[in-house]
Amino acid sequence: MTGLPWDASYHDGPAPWDVGRPQPAVVRAAAGSGFAGAVLDVGCGTGENALHLAALGLPVLGVDVAETALAIARETAGERGIEVEFATADALRLESLGRSFGTVLDCGMFHTLDAGERPGYVASLASVTEHDGTLYVLCFSDEGPGTGPHPVSRDELKAAFTPGAGWNVAAIEPDRILTRFHDDGAPAWFATINRI
Ligand SMILES: C[S@@+](CC[C@H](N)C(=O)[O-])C[C@H]1O[C@@H](n2cnc3c(N)ncnc32)[C@H](O)[C@@H]1O
C-alpha cells in the first residue's frame, strides 16, 4: 500500500473511479448541511468531492498517497478558482497531520483495505476526527447485481466502527457509487458514523 501502485492508476487517463464530478451521495449530504467544520477527504484522488465541498465554502483538506492525483486536483482547483488544500498523507497514519476535523469523508477508501488493515485505519480516522464529529463512508456494497470490486457488507462496517474504537454507526443506507464502468453506478453503502 505504498504510493507507487496507486499513483500508477492515474498515469494513463482517468482511473475507473475517476468520474470527473462529485459522487451524488456526497452532493446530497452536503446539500442537507451534513458537512460542518473543517473537512478531511481521505483518499481524495483527483479531488472532485473535496472541490465540491470547498466550492460550498467549507475549509477542506484532501489527502492521498498518489502524487499524480493530487497534482490533477490542484490544477483543477486553480482552473476553477476554488480555495482548497491537497496534501500527501497516508490514510493509515493521519495523526501525523497534527490536525482535527469536524467532518471526515471516505469515498472509496475503506473498501480498498483488507480486513487486517481496517483496525489501524479506523484508529487513524479516530485520531483526526473531533468528538461528536461525523465520518461518512461511501463504499461498494455486497448487495444487488453489478457489485464493484472488494464489496463490503453492513456487518463488516459495523464490526469496524465500534464504540470500543470510538465510533457509533448512526446509519448505513443503500446508495450508488458512480464509476466509469457502471451506467447507473455500482451498489454502495453510505454510512454515517459519529465520533464518540
Ligand atoms: C478508489 S480511489 C477513490 C478516490 C476518490 N476518493 C474518488 O472518489 O474519486 C481510492 C483512493 O485512495 C487512495 N489511497 C489508497 N491507499 C491510501 C493510503 N494508504 N493513504 C492515502 N490514500 C490512499 C488512492 O490513491 C486512491 O486515490
Q: Which residues contact 72 (CB under 8 A, 6 or more apart)?
A: 10, 46, 47
One pLDDT digit (tens) per residue for the chain, 196 residues: 445 689 999 999 999 999 999 999 999 999 999 999 999 999 999 999 999 999 999 999 999 999 999 999 999 999 999 999 999 999 999 999 999 999 999 999 999 999 999 999 999 999 999 999 999 999 999 998 889 889 999 999 999 999 999 999 999 999 999 999 988 999 999 999 999 9
How many angstroms does the Cα of residue 7 sit away from the middle of ligand 1? 9
- Decide whether any atom of ligand 1 lies within 6 Å of the 156 Cβ: no
Question: How far is the centre of ligand 1, averaged over its atoms, from the C-alpha of 81 (Å)?
Answer: 24
Cell, residue 35: 458537512
Q: Is the pTM of this model over 0.85?
A: yes
Q: How far is the CA of 44 from the centre of ligand 1 (A)?
A: 6
Residue-by-residue DSSP string for 120-141:
HHHHHHHHHEEEEEEEEEEEEB
Q: Tell me, which fold does domain 4-195 have in CATH?
A: Rossmann fold (3.40.50)
Q: What's the CA gap between 128 and 29, in Å, rounded?
A: 20
pLDDT value of position 1: 46
Domain ranges of the chain: 4-195
Residue closest by Cα to atom 27 of ligand 1: 45
